[in-house]
């Protein structure tokens, strides 16, 4: 086993691709390649963008030739693949086929595996995805709903949530696998997850819990059904109402928390009420998952970009009361989380799995 590993991290977004190089846990560079709207619209689908994105990355990496000489592995963002559990998976032919054949939901994050595979094969090194968006380890009892045709599945910020849970455990001199934690990822969308001895046993997704800067969250179903059949909205318009145009954006005309806090400080009572309601709903969501850990909670972790807001996190603390120690670990931390996952795999501290496809889950 080597002492030092160089790891390339690939994180594709809808209009950008972020690329970073690490030496063990030390970041050497982190660059964001922006793909213009004009460029993106040339391609009929996300998958059609693959060659364009790889070429853009190759061009960027050409300025880092010396640093790229001794690369040991490539890790890509894990997307919406069926049949995944948390942790690392080697990018194999089955995974590539599932993505390219359209068996996986179309999403920019799925390009992470394909780009990592291209770069790794050129160099004869392993390519891995880590803590994919669709990674699911929920208990069976948590999946049942009151509609027999609808089952709950895991859809949350797995990557950052597990990374921050692991970081907190290490700060306490413990292993993640020995702890019981509730993690709230606070961003444009908000998800909450219950971590029990290294496994995410239940979640509240960004469309079934607190409203957020851009999501409507959980709202009364009968009212939503009435809206769907009112004739005022198409299916796509309703989707935008709850994802992208909902939450604080709908209530206050902006999803910018800094702007909202400026309004609050200038005496805007409605902005104060809405921001407080968001904190209240986040606290309620965290409380709703307490039974998943039998109310034996080592800590509540607040993470994501919104966790930088002391105004918000202080209100969440107020509403949660003495439920458990509350720890704020702000930021998205996705690139570092992927690097550390790959580093554990290369060091033999964690084993990556081989991906198999058994049909839609």
For residue range 212-231, list pLDDT tens digits in order.
999 999 999 999 999 999 99
Q: What pLDDT is stored for residue 360 in this prediction?
A: 57
Q: What pLDDT is stored for residue 69 in this prediction?
A: 82
User: Do 232 and 298 belong together in one domain?
Assistant: yes
Does the structure show a pLDDT above 90 at 108? Answer: no
Query: For residue 359, is it within any domain?
Result: no
Query: For residue 92, is it within any domain?
Result: yes
Task: Give ∠ CA 25-134-138 in degrees, rounded to 5.
Answer: 100
Residue appearing with tokens 């920019």: 108
Q: Is the pTM of this model over 0.85?
A: yes
Look at the chain and count its residues. Answer: 361
Query: Who's near 89: CB < 8 A, 6+ residues apart?
Result: 78, 95, 128, 129, 130, 132, 352, 353, 354, 355
Residue appearing with tokens 């002492």: 3
> Which comes out higher in pLDDT, residue 329 or 83?
329
User: Do 95 and 150 belong together in one domain?
Assistant: no
User: Do 177 and 197 belong together in one domain?
Assistant: yes
Eight-state DSSP code of residue 243: B
User: Do 158 and 284 belong together in one domain?
Assistant: yes
User: Do 19 and 131 belong together in one domain?
Assistant: yes
User: Do 80 and 116 belong together in one domain?
Assistant: yes
Query: For residue 1, is it within any domain?
Result: no
Mean pLDDT score across all residues of the chain: 94
- CA 55, distance to chain mean position in Å, is 26
What CATH number is attached to the domain comprising 299?
Answer: 3.30.420.40
C-beta separation of 33 from 17 below 8 A: yes
Reported confidence tier of residue 261, pLDDT bands at 50, 70, 90 = very high
User: Do 152 and 277 belong together in one domain?
Assistant: yes
Q: Which two tokens stand for residue 259?
A: 């702007």
User: Do 188 and 79 belong together in one domain?
Assistant: no
The boundaries of the domain holding residue 265 are 141-330
C-beta separation of 351 from 19 below 8 A: no
User: Do 275 and 325 belong together in one domain?
Assistant: yes
């Amino acid at each position: 086993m080597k002492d030092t590993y160089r790891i390339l991290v690939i994180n594709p977004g809808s209009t950008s691709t972020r690329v970073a190089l690490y030496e063990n846990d030390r970041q050497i560079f982190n660059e964001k390649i922006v793909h213009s709207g004009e460029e993106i619209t040339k391609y009929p689908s996300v998958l059609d963008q693959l060659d364009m994105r790889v070429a853009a990355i190759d061009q960027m990496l050409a300025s880092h030739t010396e640093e790229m000489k001794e690369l040991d592995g490539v890790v890509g963002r894990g997307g919406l693949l069926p049949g995944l559990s948390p942790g690392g998976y080697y990018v194999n032919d089955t995974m590539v086929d599932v993505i390219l054949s359209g068996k996986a939901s179309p999403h920019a994050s799925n390009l992470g595996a394909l780009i990592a595979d291209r770069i790794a094969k050129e160099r004869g090194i392993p390519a891995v995805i880590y803590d994919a968006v669709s990674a699911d380890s929920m208990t069976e009892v948590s999946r049942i709903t009151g509609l027999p045709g609808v089952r709950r599945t895991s859809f949350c910020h797995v990557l950052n949530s597990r990374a921050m849970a692991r970081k907190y455990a290490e700060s306490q001199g413990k292993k993640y696998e020995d702890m019981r934690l509730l993690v709230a990822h606070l961003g444009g969308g908000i998800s909450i997850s219950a971590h029990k001895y290294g496994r995410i046993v239940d979640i509240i997704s960004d469309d079934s819990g607190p409203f957020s800067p851009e999501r409507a969250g959980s709202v009364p179903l009968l009212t939503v059904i009435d809206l769907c059949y009112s004739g005022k909205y198409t299916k796509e318009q309703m989707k935008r109402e709850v994802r992208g145009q909902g939450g604080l954006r709908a209530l206050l005309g902006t999803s910018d928390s800094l702007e909202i806090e400026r309004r609050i400080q200038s005496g805007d009572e409605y902005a104060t009420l809405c921001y407080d309601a968001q904190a209240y709903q986040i606290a309620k969501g965290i409380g709703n998952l307490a039974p998943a850990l039998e109310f034996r909670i080592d800590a509540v972790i607040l993470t994501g970009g919104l966790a930088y807001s002391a105004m918000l996190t202080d209100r969440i603390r107020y509403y949660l009361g003495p439920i458990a120690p509350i720890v704020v670990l702000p930021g998205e931390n996705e690139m570092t989380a992927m690097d550390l996952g790959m580093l554990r795999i290369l060091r033999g501290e964690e084993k990556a799995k081989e991906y198999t496809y058994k049909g839609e889950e």
